[in-house]
């Protein structure tokens, strides 16, 4: 089954399947092997971050279009048993809004071989669910936090919920969902002056902070490169108050470049997707909440797995669709190319 065209210019041609070696793994034509599956559980979110979506929200996916818990578990099982996936990260939207989250986690943790499991959340509602998620099989958690100031949090997210997020992070740490990783996006003229403050807070609390360059994945398509606080600028801001030493260990497929803080052992990371792309080492494959397979956050094609699955395709047929799609993965995201086109789906509908 060919990828579904999204009506955008510049779609890269999928290589012929005839040239694909006999290999059960998710290999591509550039020698990469995908072992990290990102699973979006919903496109809905209970925040309205200005750099992600408009104040009124978006047109959410209809319920029947979403994968059921059983369908999610089946596809995750195929990825682990037949395709060599070793890590599963649950995302959204806001994955805590998924009512059957604990059941999906438990089914994933019960797989043999057992993949590592993690979840990216905005932290709303995490305080009351952290222990439950840990018991269900979640290994660790990532929480998005762009500011420590209540008024600024309300301005960025359009919700007054900072206290809930901080409580959720503490609950995750106490439940053993460690390391708790904190993802922060700095916005020019909004919160970039908080970079040292955020790092100091995370050091004090035992969290691992990672700054992420703002990417062109907003629903409004209003991203401008000039508004993005770059990795170089982030390091300069941190360098005013901390001594940063580049880590000597190899980065591998990890998206974050890391630095020792004041000699270590604490570290800080920067994910420079725009100015320092790491596409050559990418090991990710992505499944949206409505069952579309994406080879990249910025892909302009998708492969439908929900349709064939509901039409009766067996596990090996679905696995082969997955292999063919990943074989056609592009060399890079193309953000810095003249012909770059932002994908139609925003981040909340793709899954981070």
Q: Facing residues of 211 across strands?
A: 184, 270
Give phi and psi for 167, each to the nearest 5: -65, -40
HEC letters along 278-308:
CHHHCCEEEECCCCEEECCCCCCEEEECHHH
8 A C-beta contact, residue 332 and residue 276:
no
Half-sphere exposure for 261 (CA within 13 Å, toward CB): 21
Residues 6+ apart with CB under 8 A from 271: 210, 211, 212, 213, 255, 256, 257
Is 276 annotated to bind a ligand? Reply is: no
The answer on whether 13 is annotated among ligand-binding residues is no
Print burial letters for 244-254: b (CB count within 10 Å at least 16), e (below 16).
beeeeeeeebb
In angstroms, the CA 281 to CA 235 distance is 23
240 is in an annotated binding site: no
User: 25: annotated binding-site residue?
Assistant: no
202 is in an annotated binding site: no
Q: Is 309 annotated as a binding residue?
A: no
Q: Name the CA dihedral angle for 121, 125, 127, 128, rounded to a multiple of 10 degrees.
A: -130
CB atoms within 10 A of CB 224: 9
Helices (H) and strands (E) in the chain, counts: 10, 15
| 17 marked among binding-site residues | no
310 is in an annotated binding site: no
The response to whether 44 counts as a known ligand-binding position is no
323 marked as part of a ligand binding site: no
Helices marked H in 241-352:
306-310, 315-327, 347-350
According to the annotation, is 296 in a ligand binding site? yes
Positive or negative CA dihedral for 139, 148, 215, 234?
negative
> Is 120 annotated as belonging to a binding site?
yes
51 has binding-site annotation:
yes
Residue 329 is assigned to a ligand binding site: no
Residue positions in the annotated binding site for GTP? Answer: 38, 89, 120, 181, 284-286
Residue positions in the annotated binding site for S-adenosyl-L-methionine? Answer: 51, 93, 144, 215
Residue positions in the annotated binding site? Answer: 38, 45, 49, 51-52, 89, 93, 120, 144, 181, 215, 279, 282, 284-286, 296
Residue positions in the annotated binding site for [4Fe-4S] cluster? Answer: 45, 49, 52, 279, 282, 296
């Amino acid at each position: 089954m060919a990828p579904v065209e999204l009506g955008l210019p510049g779609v890269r041609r999928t290589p012929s399947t005839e040239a694909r070696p006999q290999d059960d793994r998710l290999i591509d034509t550039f020698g990469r092997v995908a072992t990290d599956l990102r699973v979006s559980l919903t496109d809905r979110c209970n925040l309205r971050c200005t750099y992600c979506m408009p104040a009124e929200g978006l047109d959410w996916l209809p319920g029947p279009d979403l994968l059921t818990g059983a369908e999610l578990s089946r596809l995750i099982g195929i990825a682990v048993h037949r395709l060599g996936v070793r890590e599963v990260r649950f995302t959204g939207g806001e994955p805590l809004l998924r009512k059957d989250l604990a059941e999906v986690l438990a089914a994933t943790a019960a797989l043999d071989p057992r993949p590592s499991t993690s979840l990216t959340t905005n932290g709303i509602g995490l305080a009351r669910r952290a222990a439950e998620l840990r018991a269900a099989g979640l290994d660790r958690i990532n929480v998005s936090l762009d500011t420590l100031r209540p008024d600024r949090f309300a301005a960025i997210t359009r919700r007054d919920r900072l206290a809930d997020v901080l409580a959720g992070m503490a609950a995750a740490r106490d439940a053993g969902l460690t390391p708790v990783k904190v993802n922060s996006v700095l916005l020019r003229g909004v919160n970039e002056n908080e970079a040292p403050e955020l790092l100091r807070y995370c050091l004090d609390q035992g969290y691992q902070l990672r700054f992420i360059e703002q990417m062109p994945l907003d629903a409004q398509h209003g991203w401008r490169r000039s508004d993005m606080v770059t990795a170089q600028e982030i390091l300069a801001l941190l360098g005013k108050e901390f001594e940063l030493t580049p880590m000597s260990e190899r980065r591998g497929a990890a998206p974050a470049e890391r630095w020792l803080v004041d000699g270590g052992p604490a570290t800080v990371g920067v994910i420079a997707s725009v100015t320092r792309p790491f596409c050559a080492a990418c090991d990710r494959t992505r499944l949206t909440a409505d069952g579309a397979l994406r080879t990249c956050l910025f892909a302009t094609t998708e492969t439908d797995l929900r349709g064939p699955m509901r039409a009766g395709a067996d596990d090996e047929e679905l696995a082969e669709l997955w292999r063919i799609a990943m074989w056609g993965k592009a060399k890079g995201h193309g953000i810095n190319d003249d012909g770059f086109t932002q994908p139609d789906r925003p981040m909340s509908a793709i899954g981070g």
